[in-house]
Structure 1
Amino acid sequence: MRIPGRSSSERPASCGRTSGCQRLGRALHCCPCHSGVSRHVCNAGHQSIDRPGSPGTFSPNSISAQIAEPSTTFIVAESAGHLVGFAQLVLGSAHVLVGAEAAAKLNRLYVHERFTGRGIGKALLRRSEELAASNGAFTLWLTAWVGNHRVLGFYASRGYTDLGATMYVFQDEQFENRLLATPVRAPTET
């Protein structure tokens, strides 16, 4: 599958490319008001604080472990040999707001800011939906921070329905997220 834009492509991630995922994740979520601490509330609602030199969400070991998980798939988008975005799909991931049917979670979808507006996020999302459906999921769901209006609008424009609020607690702070979901295939009738 081709990613829109000049010489761009999408492929499954491998453990040999984890440093690229780490660099992209850190670059997307560096906040100047935290002086040397990368704090992020990503589009999928996951918060972490990564201090330089400390293991964290985007450490090579963490990314390698996530790629090695049988239920997890990373899809990366590259342009001219450089990582410009990635999606992380977790199969068999349920949530009370989604219901009891087979579901998959879009854990992360990142596109480097310089590459937004080129269809890369849409292509990564479409491929995530296809993989979820081909692996037995009826629904793909995610969480997004309530204050990230651009991301909420992106998923709404792609047909995702807001199923309600979820709260994420991190270091005694609560962050409201919205749980969004879309059907990826129809349940078979028995």
Structure 2
Amino acid sequence: MNQIEIKKATLSDLEILQKVGKQTFMETFATVNTPENIANYLEESFNTNQLTTELTNPESRFYLAVLDQEVIGYLKINFGKAQTELINENALEIHRIYVLQQYHGKKIGQLFVDKVLEIVKENPVDYIWLGVWEENHRAIGFYTKNGFIQFDKHIFTLGDDVQTDLLMKRQLKN
């Protein structure tokens, strides 16, 4: 396999981000949610206005995993007030790590976590945190292996389905 490049996304990447975002979300959650709930989420989260707002927010960043000029996954992080829950303003939230299914097991998620660790060296925070669906055992195992521990839970509503996300964090030594 050729080298996978992690590059910062810009507004010019909006369309590919929409495409990969929708595809990875569908691959991950379509079998365990209703088509209506999936469709509503995709429309709310990946419409042009919403993504433009997120891409231009100075406290959010997107990174793309690129292999042979094809985007195969993305990472979204939030600082400060851009975090989905303001538990600690001096923390960094991994909001999304999504990789196209055909590239699962190729260590792309690890490249994204490594990128986050690189970012926090330049932008020191108290800890890194994220929310992960309690039924996504593969992701929970991955985050645990990377030093994240559960510290809370919150409700994630997908359409008319109320789900529980585990909140996990990795404390950093400053």
TM-score range, shorter chain: 0.7 to 0.9
Q: How far apart, CA to CA, are the structure 2 residues paired with 1:184 and 1:113?
A: 30
Which of 110, 119, 131 is the matching residue for 1:131?
Answer: 119
Task: Give the counterpart letter for 1:113 in structure 2.
Answer: Q
Q: Does 1:117 align with 2:113?
A: no
Higher helix share: 2
How far does the alpha carbon of each residue in 1:155-175 deviate from its partner, in whole angstroms, 9 at most, with x for none?
011110111221223445321
Give CA deviations for 1:8-44 in whole Å, capped at 9, x if unaligned.
Answer: 2111001111111111111112226745x5718xxxx
CA contact (8 A) 1:91 1:105 kept: yes
Q: CA deviation at 1:95?
A: 4.7
Taking structure 1 as the reference length, what is the TM-score of the superposition?
0.78
Deviations, residues 73-119 of structure 1 (Å, cap 9, x unaligned): 111110011101111010123857x5x47101111011111111111
Match of 1:28 in 2: 24
Label 1:94 to 1:184 Cα distance change in 2 as closer, same or farther (>3 A): farther
Which one of 146, 149, 165 corresponds to residue 158 of structure 1? Answer: 146
Residue number in structure 1 paired with 2:11: 15
Task: Count how many residue pairs are aligned between Structure 1 and Structure 2.
Answer: 168
- Rg bigger for which structure? 1
**Any conservation in 1 of the 2:75–2:98 contact (CA below 8 Å)?**
yes
> Where does residue 94 of structure 2 map in the other structure?
106
Identify unmatched segments of 5+ residues in structure 2.
none
Q: Where does residue 170 of structure 2 map in the other structure?
A: 182
Q: Secondary structure at the match of 1:29?
A: helix
For the 8 Å contact 1:26–1:38, the answer to whether it is kept is no
Matched-pair contact (CA < 8 Å) for 1:91–1:137? no
- Uncovered stretches (5+) of structure 1, i.e. residues with no partner: 41-47
Report the Cα distance in structure 2 between the residues aligned to 1:65 and 1:95, rounded to whole angstroms: 18
1:109 and 1:146 mapped to 2: Cα distance? 16
